[in-house]
Amino acid sequence: MNKKNLLILFTILSALALGACGGSSGGGGGGGGGPLATGGFIKTAIMGTGTAYGGHFPDAAPVDFHVMHLYDASQISGSGFINAISFKSNQASTGSTCNDITIKMGHTSQTPLVNTFITNIEQGKGKLETVLTNAQVIIPAVALDDYFTIQLDTPFNYNGVDNLVVDFIRTGVCSQTIGIQADSGLAAHSLWSINLLSGTGSLDAGLNMKLHFAGGDNEQTMGGTGSNLSPFGFSMPRMQSLYLASEINGSGPITGIAYQMNTTSAAGAYTFSLKMGHSTLSTLGLTFADNYSDTPVTVATNVTVNIPVGIPAGGWVWIPIPDGIFTYNGTDNLIVDIDKTVGTANNNARVATVTGRRAEGSSGALVAANVDSAYYHLKFRFNGSTIGVITDAVSGTSNAFPGNGIGGIGGRMNLYRASELGTAAKITSVACRLEAATSTATTLNNYKVIMGHTLLESIDAIAANNFISQQVVYDMPFNIPAGLVQGDWITVPLTTPFNYNGTDNLVIWMGTTAASGGITHRCELSSTDARFPNHSGTGPPDSINITGIGNEKFDLRLEITK
């Protein structure tokens, strides 16, 4: 049995997870024209205490131990590649060596857990993936309430929408028992058994855990439900928002930001400029320039964002930042400085109440009229992960994978808004989410993917009108692999990457240009919804007209590079 020796020191791994890419602020990309560094952040999924677990890392029998932990999406408040996890010790220890540990992760709709292991996983949200295999883990000396970290073999791409299952299996013992903490107030978020063959177990409290993300979307929320019309109202404000380093708990290049809506959105257009910078202040002052501790970076200049009608309360709007990249150092606090010059409708952004977090004045002002307690819920996109657009798709709402099952020439066109995507980047693959129970190996002949920018907000019946310009990014046979399960992604790796500008909407056509047989595979499709007016249609790529135009679109995942 292959064993891996993972010498893991919490302080070193925390620095690695947060990335050596911190540095000073700046734009443009990696040094010497190379790829942009990966950012990172840490999310504490469950914080409460009151229950001690000794079964994960004991120095004696039982040897076989299986425990499943659940973390709700709202507890995580983030998405991206999880490459390490941390446990909280409930005792001081000089360290321990633990053998034969396997960890798996998966998405789930289950909350809370039920006492049958298999019921909590692979029920439509994708397969359970092994992220650490039969490893030897060396735990360093820890004090009471210290966290110690385990690096994973394979990162898990958590989507931030579904709940997360962390499945822990141990078939060896440790040189010293390490007890860990759980939240006794959170019932049915752990399921354990000392018999690995057993299909059932005992339900217990939720385990304290930190999740280390290498790239992804880091949500900054305080649980508020207040509304504010800045920056998405008719008025023309300039405002600075302040976020503490302890809240962000991360560092690296920020390639996108998103605001959360507090009421259902109305259609509106907003033109703004946006700067980001570091600050040593814990509350803002009235003079905008004095709030920075360095020279801010302009990441958007006179850019227009269109907010569509129908984004529900709690939904997010991505703000284009095409003109620069801000590299956050992870130590200082962070200022987001937005100066709006055009607003055509009133939309309410979600805020909490935290003293001294917003300075607001007139557009272009040097001095704020006031400093108040409006804390805006934001997402910061740290470089290194995928872009996902997961709609309200439900089981049974699906359509054939574009070009599969048609039997002739044809495919499907979908429109995705800039406010859903959020980042200018090179797109290297496109994927839809399997709705069928499983996949069978199938070859689609003469498969083609076309991408292009558009200024339209809906698909036009005249095919040529839907693109400002278009690019063939895949044109060869495509093999759908066997063994995918419902909720997994059917991914088409592009033969020619597409440079998405981040400000225009994106149109994607996928399908076949010659007869293609095989078994039909179906992908998740949003239910017909006014949020997506005429966002999809069918027809060959060179047709005159697009038919079957409707208010739905596929769940989407895009791999990107910067």
Per-chain mean pLDDT for the chain: 89
pLDDT confidence of 446, banded at 50, 70, 90? confident
**pLDDT(10) > 50:** no
- Which three-class secondary structure string do you get for 170-214? ECCCECCCEEEEEECCCCCCEEEECCCCCCECEEECEECEEEEEE
Phi and psi of 120, rounded to 5°? -85, -5
Q: Residue 405 — pLDDT band, cuts 50, 70, 90?
A: low
pLDDT (0 to 100) of residue 408:
58
In this structure, which CATH number among 1.10.1740, 2.60.120, 2.40.10, 1.10.3720 belongs to the domain 387-561? 2.60.120
Instruction: At 266, list the tokens.
Output: 């109305």
Cβ atoms of residues 350 and 314 within 8 Å: yes
State the pLDDT at residue 197: 80
Most confident of 7-21, 295-309, 534-548: 295-309
The pTM of the full predicted model, rounded to 2 decimals, is 0.92
Q: Among residues of the chain, what percentage have pLDDT more than 90?
A: 76
Max Cα distance, the chain (Å): 73
Does the structure show a pLDDT above 50 at 12? no
If you average pLDDT over residues 177-187, what whole number do you get?
93
Q: Please tell me the predicted confidence (pLDDT) of residue 395.
A: 47
Half-sphere exposure of 556 (CA within 13 A, CB side): 24
Q: In this predicted structure, what is the pLDDT of residue 255?
A: 97
Residue whose token pair is 């692979």: 122
Nearest Cα neighbor of 210 from 378, 78, 55 is 78
**197 or 221, higher pLDDT:** 221
In the block, tokens 């290498």 appear at: 214
pLDDT at 7 over 60: no
pLDDT at 393: 56
Q: Between 214 and 50, where is the model more confident?
A: 214
Percent of the chain with pLDDT over 70: 91
Confirm if 254 and 38 have CB atoms less than 8 A apart: no
| Predicted local distance difference test score (pLDDT) of residue 517 | 59
pLDDT tier at 378 (50, 70, 90 boundaries)? very high
What are the boundaries of each domain within the chain? Answer: 5-215, 224-382, 387-561
SS3 193: strand
Residue where the block lists tokens 């928002």: 241
Domain 224-382 has CATH 1.10.3470: no
Torsion angle of C-alpha atoms 495, 519, 558, 550, degrees rounded to 10: 120
Contact, 248 vs 328, CB < 8 A?
A: yes
131/211 Cα distance (integer angstroms): 13
